[in-house]
Chains A and B, each alone.
Chain A
Amino acid sequence: MTSGFTRESVAQISEFQNEPPWMLERRIQAFQIFEQLPLPKTNDESWRRTDIRGLNLEQFQLVTSNKSQTNGRYSELFSGVEEQENSGLIVQNDVSVIHSTLSDFLINKGVYFSGFKTALDERPDLLENYLCQTIQSTENKFNAMHNAFLQSGYVLYVPKGVVIDFPLRVIVSLSGESTADFSHTLIIADDESQVTILEEHLSVDQQGQGLHCGGVEIFLGRNAFVNYAQVQNWNKKVWNFSTQRAKLERGANLRWITTSLGSRLSKLDQLVEMNGEGSHADLLGLTATHARQHIDIHTYQKHAVSNSTSNLLYRNVLKDRSRTVWRGMIEVDKGAQKIDSYQQNDNLILSKRARADTIPGLEILADDVRCTHGATAGKIDQEQVFYLMSRGLSYNQAEQTIVNGFFESVLQRIPLEYLRNQLQKSIVGKLQLN
């Protein structure tokens, strides 16, 4: 059963899932805002460089029932990685969870890791408290849409003091023609807990168009340590919108790796709030675009309290007629002293017709802070190409080597070797440099 983005659909989703009344209420509220808001236009400052006039929401369908999907591809990136003991895996196809496991070991420790629907049944308490707390419907139509129609994604809760040694893995895949996906990632890492999550977004076939209007929320309790890697690898017909938020309490440590490889057009809005003293966020980004892909990422590092630090490094490689936009902001609130905060975006442009816009920004309302920002965009250096070719490498090999080197400063900050290797491989594959 499929239908459009109507109030009836909202009711249907809620009924079908047998949701608690508060959830329906929230949906209806969000839906009303969704109805009122227009799609963002380029006269909107934050959408100035991203034109979505080609997007027609009516082309996409809401999936309001489970359809069985058994032949969904598992993982492009981590196919070689066996399911680990003491870990967990969720595989979602369109809006249905087709695989969900969590080791007994972790269950016994009180870890909760489930698809959204199951979580709503089993842990409404978690959802009522945390879900969409940081994603404001009024901000834009996509947020409102997400809040009104979300019915997939997953919830992870790591109790106080629990340290998970092996990465938890999530695969969110799209296979249906014109499916609209509103998957939500909700991660709650309680005080002193530690966890690594590898989340991959992929299309099962390379043809079907799709819409992903997602949300990510990560809550880090005191001294919690979260590694979160999201690899976006949709096919080139998927529209990708995502609002992503993290909140860090005292002493919390977040390492967030955003890899953007796929989609026709992406608009990512990432906000990380350092709300507790001693909190630290490492924000890493790898983007590789080709053909006519358009990837627009806004990052926002907000330091609300003293003695917090953040370090952002996003690197983009562009080919063909693709385009990237990065706009960064560091905000240091009044009275927040002893802040170290960095942002850096570098772009390596491999073809004449690709274009990278890079716009760093600072908004500092305190005086005892150390903030730097930097932005570069440049073509591939022909002296480097010549040097490598003079040693026998072909032009393509030389280019690939330079691209690998360019991404290395981001990759070397990723502690998981196989993630590093797989990311490098998939980037090279995506750019088809050999």
Chain B
Amino acid sequence: MSDNLVINNLRVNVAGGEILKGLSLSVKSGEIHALMGPNGCGKSTLANALMGHPNYNVDSGSVTLNEIDVLELGPDERAKLGLFLAFQYPTAIPGVTLANFLRMAVSAVRIVDGNDAATTSLVPMREFRKELRGKMEELGVDDSFARRYLNDGLSGGEKKRAEVLQLAMLEPKIAILDETDSGLDIDAIKVVGESVNQLVGPNLGVLIITHYPRLLNYIKPHFVHVILDGRIVESGGWELAERLEAEGYDAIREKHGVEFVQQTDPKLDAPIQI
């Protein structure tokens, strides 16, 4: 079955300030979308709002995954539904090992029969260990990683690898990668890029938020979107990323200018149908 995340005309405020101003986008399984835009334009806001962060308030618009209203759900239910966010700044949880946490998380998203008791049953230890070891090997992550505390005392790059490891273990339907490439060294970008590529198959749709086309050399996006001031102003193919790299955001800013922000372009506001 093909999964479909549809974001329609989403408006989000943070502490009263409107950040997303009518953003529309859809991501299907098998697709790779890249989302690019200058600092502070609302990329992480979109990611957090999609995952249900309590500080990001949705004023209007809709988000559905396979026609289920995502905005009605808590973050844990969204995860169980198949959404995943690799955070730009993963939060440290001291004293909790990555392995113990991941076993709980994997159990939570896999053992879904709805009742509360199920949330406390865990996938068998041996099975889990074997799977984790396999995935760590694929990602070129050191064995000791599993015993380290979650994002605590990890370098920037290590945190990003840990996010990708979680992505690989949790097997979501739609994954949002928020600047997973920043902080990674060149070799790591390659490893991460290749492993995300491996994960992308008919069963995973990906939204990659990035500033650098370098990652996109490894993960070739099918679609590239440019976000400015809280909404998507241009969408295109790979060539759009190349143009951005060459011209910067100024050309696009000029093109859409302030007037654009005021007017509504029904073509751009509608979900992009592919």
Contacts and interface: CB of A to CB of B under 8 A. Distances in A.
Contacts of A387: 87, 90-91, 93
A410 to B, nearest CB: 9
A408 interface: yes
B236 interface: no
B141 interface: no
A391 B166 contact: yes
Interface string B149-181: 110000000000000001000100000000000
Interface string B83-124: 001010011111110000100110011000000000110000
Interface in A95-123: none
Interface string B55-86: 00000000000000000001110111000010
A415 interface: no
Contacts of B93: 384, 387-388, 401-402, 405
B192 interface: no
B22 interface: no
B120 A392 contact: no
Given A389-B79, A390-B75, A392-B170, A382 B94 contact: no
A386 B96 contact: no
A154 interface: no
B79 A391 contact: yes
A384 B170 CA distance: 19
A383 B149 CA distance: 16
A406 interface: yes
Nearest to B78: A390
Contacts of B90: 387
Contacts of B96: 401-402, 404-405, 408
25 contacts: A382-B54, A384-B92, A384-B93, A386-B51, A386-B53, A386-B54, A386-B91, A387-B93, A388-B101, A389-B52, A390-B85, A391-B105, A391-B170, A392-B109, A392-B170, A393-B76, A393-B104, A397-B104, A398-B76, A401-B101, A404-B96, A407-B95, A408-B94, A408-B95, A408-B96
B143 to A, nearest CB: 19
Given A386-B54, A391-B170, A392-B108, 17 more contacts: A381-B91, A384-B91, A387-B93, A389-B52, A390-B52, A390-B75, A390-B76, A391-B79, A391-B108, A392-B76, A393-B76, A394-B76, A397-B104, A404-B96, A405-B94, A405-B95, A408-B149
Contact of A394 (B53, B119, B166): B119
Contacts of B101: 388, 391, 401
B108 A406 contact: no
B82 to A, nearest CB: 10
A386 B93 CA distance: 11
A97 to B, nearest CB: 39
Contact of A386 (B75, B92, B94, B166): B75
Contacts of B119: 394, 397
A313 to B, nearest CB: 13
A401 B104 contact: yes
A390 B79 contact: yes
Nearest to B151: A387
A434 interface: yes
B95 A409 contact: yes
B131 to A, nearest CB: 16
Contacts of A406: 94-95
Nearest to B104: A393
Looking at chain A, what size class is its interface with the partner chain? 20 to 34
A418 interface: no
Contacts of B75: 386, 389-390
Contacts of B79: 389-392
Question: A-B pairs with the 4 shortest C-beta distances?
Answer: A405-B95, A408-B95, A392-B108, A392-B79
Contacts of B109: 391-392
Contacts of B150: 405
Contacts of B74: 389, 395
B33 to A, nearest CB: 20
A401 B103 CA distance: 12
A272 to B, nearest CB: 26
A395 B94 CA distance: 18
Contacts of A384: 91-93
Contact of B108 (A393, A405, A409): A393
Contacts of B120: 397, 434
Contacts of A404: 95-96
Nearest to A411: B95
A425 to B, nearest CB: 13
B180 to A, nearest CB: 15
A392 B95 contact: no
A331 B87 CA distance: 47
Which of B54, B75, B104 is packed against the most chain A CB atoms within 10 Å? B75
A394 to B, nearest CB: 5
Contact of B80 (A383, A386, A392, A409): A392
Nearest to A410: B95
A406 B93 CA distance: 9
A352 to B, nearest CB: 16
